[in-house]
């Protein structure tokens, strides 16, 4: 273990322990979450959910030892991910191969218990774990699971390079013709450290084929005079591509429109078999990859032949599955020789920084029109859509004032790993700049496109689609809006955040009641009911401005939670899987019938008087407030925090903060806000505020 690794371990565990205090949870829980962030960022998993359980020693003889800390299942690819965490106390912990193998066996035992159905229910009574087991069994019984990936996570360091496990397979019994391949992954502190270093120290991807990989890539070149873009075509040894991907992982395909979905999608299994059986034919069978680069350096040999020597900021935009399949082959014993016999055609389009803006369209166009190995869905092209870019823009400039009076951002992660990239550009781990960056963008205020889809589908009264999981839900949402996406302005962004605040508050109430097993389902249906019963007139502005749900709304939320919970229990008594039933329209219809008597008080609804045409007096206040300028209102805000702290309310101070930010950023200022702040100014002046003095 190097000194740098030791320092990383100390800083990593300090952050974990801070999260334990902040979230009132266990070290193992926060360690799991922290390591999963790196796994997801590397591209090895999509969006795992926490689900913690461990066998009871009294039942070990009946069940065997089992364990689970998190899981994920992708309906589109049929990949099941199971995560087990090994936590060590103290400094310099060592993760042994024996402990790793034991954790693998415990996760395998959990899977076997899950597919045994009724027996598993008697073994573990926790509703959340039972729901996970039921879901796994349902997918297994219908033969939809295509691949099982077992992850061992730990804050220990591997003391030796562990033996690679051969990719195995699972059969319920020896005569079964349904065999599921199994992959094994270990993420210790060493892996996390390497992932962190790649992010922090290698913002630019610079690949020198000659010195780093001993490869000579002969190429042909074309030049498009219309847009100044050069393109190169070359043939790359598969072993070189695998080694490059091994170093950079998902960063190599940051601009790709889709991520590797696993080795058992039909085209990928065919590629893997070709590498294993006839690698010399891989070039003939494969369509190759398309990519972009900021700069391509060329060398000539004595005969005038062109060779690609160096590529700067290389990104694969089509062929991510080819790349990942080749990389997976590299991890298997005895496959390196095969990869030396396999070759891949590579097209590189050189797009200089001077036309960087053009990349946003170019990447999508290359991905859409290049020969692809699997069908590309419209939703796969969403990352660079104007709707997503505008959401990102709003999330970087719309500051919110939390309950402690601190300014924070709700950070929209348009691309996977974007937050870690942005953070690494601020400074090193543990520095004050990074800590401030994280404090201003707290973990519970970060969200992605799957979260937006879930919130919007629920608000649009389609909670049954919101419950279908990140990928499926987003696909449905994107089909709904892609032809006519909403206008993303300040108001739209505020409303998205307000819905998220409602969703999170519902979750916290559910967990407090000990019913966390159905938390996501209940939260989606509750949000849908609030939208339905308010006729979409819930006062979302209040929630944004105060960063909390109105107290008068809490009893209504509790009524909704009760109704959804009772309907879930009905499904269970009918021997139906509640999670499965909640994804059906009939479930929503039953919920609506159960809640006919729910109505919302006027105090939580939009005040219609505020949306009427403003009066001449209000217009005068608006003009005056804007003319005073942001500096004036910032000075008043400072007075409110110091000398005037006991003389103005928290709400009055928050409104002044909001007005100063709106004027400073030249965004819309509402007449009611300006009128209220002018009134606060008059009160402050009477209480001793001097607008000329700097506070």
Q: What is the pTM of this model?
A: 0.58
Point out which residues pair with 40 in neighbouring strands.
none
Q: How many CA atoms lie within 13 A of 176 on its CB side?
A: 12
Q: Write the pLDDT tens digit of every residue in 119-128.
A: 555 555 566 7
Which single residue is written with the structure tokens 């919302």?
Answer: 600
What average pLDDT does the segment 86-105 reach? 91
* Spatial distance between the Cα atoms of 540 and 497, rounded to a whole number of angstroms: 9
The pLDDT, as a whole number, for residue 485 is 87
In the chain, % of residues over pLDDT 70? 86
What average pLDDT does the segment 495-500 reach? 97
The pLDDT, as a whole number, for residue 172 is 77
Cβ–Cβ under 8 Å, residues 159 and 95? yes
What average pLDDT does the segment 310-335 reach? 85
* Spatial distance between the Cα atoms of 135 and 306, rounded to a whole number of angstroms: 55
Q: Which residues contact 430 (CB under 8 A, 6 or more apart)?
A: 11, 14
Helix (H) or strand (E) holding 521: helix 519-533
Q: Write the pLDDT tens digit of every residue in 393-419.
A: 999 999 998 877 889 999 999 876 678
Q: Write the pLDDT tens digit of every residue in 196-253.
A: 776 655 456 789 999 999 999 999 999 877 767 899 999 999 999 999 988 877 677 7
CA distances from 54 to 83, 103, 131, 327, 519 (A): 12, 11, 15, 33, 21
The pLDDT, as a whole number, for residue 62 is 67
Identity of the highest mean pLDDT range in 185-189, 605-609, 661-665: 185-189
Handedness of CA 341, 342, 347, 348 (dihedral sign): negative
Polymer length in residues for the chain = 695
pLDDT at 279 over 90: yes
pLDDT at 529 over 90: yes
The pLDDT, as a whole number, for residue 504 is 93
Name the residue among 647, 640, 626, 558 with its Cα closest to residue 598.
558
Q: Write the pLDDT tens digit of every residue in 66-77.
A: 999 999 888 767
pLDDT band at 37 (very low <50, low <70, confident <90, very high): confident
CA distances from 355 to 6, 232, 251, 358 (A): 42, 18, 21, 5
The pLDDT, as a whole number, for residue 582 is 92
What average pLDDT does the segment 360-384 reach? 54
* Spatial distance between the Cα atoms of 418 and 89, rounded to a whole number of angstroms: 31
The pLDDT, as a whole number, for residue 363 is 52
pLDDT at 372 over 50: no
CA angle 515, 521, 525 (to 5 degrees): 115
CA distances from 10 to 157, 190, 431, 479 (A): 13, 13, 13, 46
The pLDDT, as a whole number, for residue 255 is 44
The pLDDT, as a whole number, for residue 417 is 67
Kindly report the average pLDDT of the chain as a whole number. Answer: 84
Cβ–Cβ under 8 Å, residues 16 and 34? yes
Name the residue among 511, 518, 526, 523 with its Cα closest to residue 581.
518
């Amino acid at each position: 273990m190097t000194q740098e690794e030791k320092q990383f371990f100390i800083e990593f565990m300090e952050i974990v322990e801070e999260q334990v205090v902040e979230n009132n949870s266990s070290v193992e829980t926060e360690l799991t979450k922290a390591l999963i962030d790196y796994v997801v960022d590397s591209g090895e998993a999509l969006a795992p959910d926490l689900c913690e359980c461990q066998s009871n020693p009294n039942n070990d003889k009946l069940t065997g030892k089992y364990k689970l800390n998190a899981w994920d299942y992708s309906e589109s690819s049929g990949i099941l991910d199971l995560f087990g965490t090994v936590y060590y106390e103290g400094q310099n912990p060592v993760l042994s191969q024996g402990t790793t193998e034991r954790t693998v066996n415990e996760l395998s035992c959990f899977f076997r218990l899950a597919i045994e159905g009724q027996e598993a229910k008697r073994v573990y009574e926790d509703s959340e774990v039972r729901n996970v087991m039921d879901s796994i069994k349902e997918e297994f019984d219908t033969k939809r699971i295509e691949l099982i990936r077992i992850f061992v996570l730990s804050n220990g360091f591997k003391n030796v390079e562990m033996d690679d496990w051969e990719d195995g397979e699972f059969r319920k019994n020896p005569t079964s013709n349904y065999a599921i391949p199994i992959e094994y992954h270990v993420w210790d502190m060493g892996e996390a450290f390497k992932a962190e270093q790649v992010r922090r120290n290698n913002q630019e991807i610079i690949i020198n084929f000659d010195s780093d990989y001993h490869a000579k890539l002969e190429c042909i070149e074309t030049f498009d005079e219309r847009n100044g873009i050069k393109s190169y075509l070359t043939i790359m040894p598969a072993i070189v591509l695998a080694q490059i991907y091994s170093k950079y992982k998902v960063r190599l395909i940051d601009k790709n429109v889709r991520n590797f979905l696993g080795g058992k999608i039909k085209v990928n299994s065919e590629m893997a078999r070709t590498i294993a059986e006839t690698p010399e034919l891989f070039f003939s069978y494969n369509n190759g990859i398309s990519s972009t680069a900021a700069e391509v350096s060329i060398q000539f040999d004595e005969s005038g032949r062109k060779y690609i020597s160096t590529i700067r900021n290389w990104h694969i935009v089509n062929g991510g599955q080819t790349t990942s399949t080749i990389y997976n082959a590299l991890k298997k014993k005895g496959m390196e020789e095969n990869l030396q016999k396999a070759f891949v055609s590579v097209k590189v389009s050189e797009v200089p920084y001077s036309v960087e803006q053009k990349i946003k369209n170019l990447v999508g166009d290359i991905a859409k029109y290049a020969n692809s190995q699997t069908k590309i869905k419209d939703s796969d092209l969403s990352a660079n859509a104007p709707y997503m870019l505008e959401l990102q823009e709003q999330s970087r400039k719309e500051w919110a004032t939390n309950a402690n009076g601190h300014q924070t951002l709700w950070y929209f992660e348009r691309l996977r790993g974007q937050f870690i990239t942005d953070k690494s550009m601020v400074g090193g781990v543990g520095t004050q700049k990074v800590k401030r960056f994280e404090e201003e963008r707290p973990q519970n205020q970060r969200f992605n496109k799957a979260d937006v889809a879930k919130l919007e589908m629920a608000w649009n009264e389609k909670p049954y689609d919101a419950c279908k999981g990140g990928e499926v839900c987003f696909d449905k949402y994107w089909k709904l809006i892609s032809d006519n996406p909403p206008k993303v302005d300040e108001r739209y962004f505020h409303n998205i955040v307000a819905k998220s605040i409602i969703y999170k508050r519902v979750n916290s109430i559910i967990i407090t009641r000990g019913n966390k097993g159905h938390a996501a389902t209940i939260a989606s249906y509750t949000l849908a009911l609030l939208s339905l019963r308010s006729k979409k007139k819930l006062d979302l502005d209040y929630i944004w401005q105060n960063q909390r749900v109105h107290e008068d709304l809490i009893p209504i939320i509790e009524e909704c939670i009760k109704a959804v919970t009772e309907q879930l229990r009905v499904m269970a008594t009918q021997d139906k899987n509640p999670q499965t039933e909640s994804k059906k329209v009939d479930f929503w219809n039953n919920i609506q019938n159960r809640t006919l008597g729910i109505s919302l008080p006027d105090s939580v609804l939009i005040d219609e008087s505020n949306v009427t045409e403003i009066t001449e007096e209000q217009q005068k206040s608006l003009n005056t407030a804007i003319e005073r300028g942001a500096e004036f209102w910032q000075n008043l805000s400072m007075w409110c925090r110091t000398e005037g702290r006991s003389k103005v309310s928290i709400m009055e101070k928050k409104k002044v903060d909001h007005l100063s930010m709106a004027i400073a950023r030249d965004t819309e200022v509402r007449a009611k806000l300006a009128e209220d702040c002018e009134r606060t100014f008059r009160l402050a002046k009477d209480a001793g505020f001097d607008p000329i003095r700097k506070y």
